[in-house]
Every structure is written in C-alpha cells, then in structure tokens.
Amino acid sequence: MSTRIDPDLPTIVFDLDGTLAETAPDLIWTLNAVLAEIDLPPIPFELARDLIGAGARALINRGLAADGRELSDEDVEKLFNRYLEIYDTRLCVETHLFEHVPESLDILRQRGHRLAVCTNKMEYHSLKLIDALGIAPYFSAVCGRDTFAFCKPDARHLTHTVIKAGGDPGKAIMIGDSRTDIDTALNANLPSIGVPFGYTDTPMTALGPDVLISHFRELPEAVMGLVRRG
C-alpha cells in the first residue's frame, strides 16, 4: 500500500489467531486429525477452542493432556511436524476474518500507522494465511514463532517485529486476545488493546489490557485514545 507512514505514530502490532481471524475450526480439525493417527478420540470443538493460544506445539501438548496421554518429547516433536504438514493443507478452509477487520486496518493505515503481525504461529503458515485472507498488503512485517530465536511472551518478539516493520520499538501498541499477548506488551513496557472474542482460558477482563474493545469497529478510536494519552 502506498499510504504515507507517519513516523511519529506508534506501530500497531496484531496477534493473528483469535485476534484478526477465527482460526479455531481449522486448528482443531488438524489437532483431531493428528490425535486420530495415534488412536485418540477427537476433542469436541467447544472444549478444544480453549486449548488454542500458545502455538501448535502447545496445542498438541494440551490436546494430549485432555485425553490423559503422555508422550516422550521425541514423539511430541513427531506429532508437531505431522501437525504442521496437515495444517498446511487446511489453513483457510473454515478460517475467516472477524467482522470489520479489513475496514479497521484500512482506517489505521490511512491515518499513517505502520501495521505488523506478531504471532506464535509459524511464520510460513502466518504469511500464507494472511495472504489467503486478503489482508497481506496492510502489513509491513509478519513475524511468527520461528522468525527469531525467541517468541511471545518474550518482549523481544514484539520489539523485533516493530523493528522489522521499520518502526520504533519503543513506540507500539499490541492488539491481542490472550494472556500471552498482554504479558508480551507488559514485558516490552508497551500498551495493549485486548479483544474478548479470541482464545484464552482467562477472561480478557481479568488480564488487564490498557484498553478493552468488544468489536473491531472500536479499534481505531481505541488506538487514537492511547495515542492521545501518549
């Protein structure tokens, strides 16, 4: 996009799963496909949705724990690699953007903000999914779990994402749906905006984001409020 970036404005950094997009159906389908390969029953969607939020490896471990199965680290790593292989064919079958995401991204870019994605999803899958969802042109950087040698809630995952986007790592706002996102912002001494419709085992109201919104249409005003507060 050719919209002029205002260097005085903070970079707006988004989580992906449960923040920009409802990815649970395809993530859970893939998890159950992997569990079926080791003869475990599927986890119902309404239970499995709460297992999402910390990346694929954590999702597998949580899925195994839900079924009471313990595996060696080597076997978990094999399942993880198999998960990535299957998920690559299932990235955007039922996945969809939350309502008003493109409109909000457009408003923020028109105002001059850099936009970026910082996710614990693998970078390749993140790039591929964002492209499939039609929002890739909005982002100056998309950084996944494997982009750097560290990942959320490590503050460097967020600050290095901002740097890769061309922004000031001390001037950014994190948008997310889980404790991981809010903790990452806190660790980086940066403000956060929480959304309550994603994947978290603790209600967003209890996680203490600087601002809580209930719908993406509220995001541009929430960002503006934080900018005004400095």
Q: How many domains are contained in the chain?
A: 2
Q: Which residues contact 199 (CB under 8 A, 6 or more apart)?
A: 17, 18, 24, 49, 50, 52, 53, 177, 178
Residue type, 216: F
Instruction: Render pLDDT for 5-60 as a digit per residue (tens, 0 to 9).
Output: 999 999 999 999 999 999 999 998 998 898 888 888 887 777 767 677 666 777 77
Give the number of other CB atoms < 10 A from CB of residue 75: 13
Residue type, 30: T
Same domain, 171 and 125: yes
Q: For position 20, what pLDDT does the model report?
A: 98
Contact yes or no for 75/64 (Cβ under 8 A): no
15 classed as catalytic: yes
- Asked if residue 5 is part of any domain, the answer here is no
Same domain, 117 and 193: yes
Contact yes or no for 145/138 (Cβ under 8 A): no
Closest by CA to 230, choosing from 171, 163, 188, 181, is: 171
Q: How many Cα atoms are found within 13 Å in the side-chain-facing hemisphere of 142?
A: 18
Report the alpha-carbon distance of residue 219 to residue 79 in Å, rounded.
Answer: 37
- β 21-22/96-97 pair status: antiparallel
Percent of the chain with pLDDT over 90: 73
- Asked if residue 1 is part of any domain, the answer here is no
Last residue of a domain, one of 69, 87, 105: 87
Helix (H) or strand (E) holding 154: none
Residue 132 sits in which domain range?
Answer: 11-22+95-229
- Which of 6, 15, 17, 168 is labelled catalytic? 15
Higher per-residue confidence, 65 vs 93: 93
Same domain, 109 and 34: no
Report the alpha-carbon distance of residue 11 to residue 33 in Å, rounded.
Answer: 38
- Asked if residue 4 is part of any domain, the answer here is no
Average model confidence (pLDDT) across the chain: 92
CATH code: domain of residue 163: 3.40.50.1000
Q: For position 59, what pLDDT does the model report?
A: 76
Instruction: Render pLDDT for 23-36 as a digit per residue (tens, 0 to 9).
Output: 999 998 998 898 88
- Tokens 């929480």 correspond to what residue? 194
Contact yes or no for 177/195 (Cβ under 8 A): yes
CATH code: domain of residue 38: 1.10.150.240
Same domain, 219 and 129: yes
Distances (CA, A) of 115 to 27, 91, 143: 25, 22, 12
Higher per-residue confidence, 63 vs 195: 195
Provide the residue count of the chain: 230
Same domain, 81 and 177: no
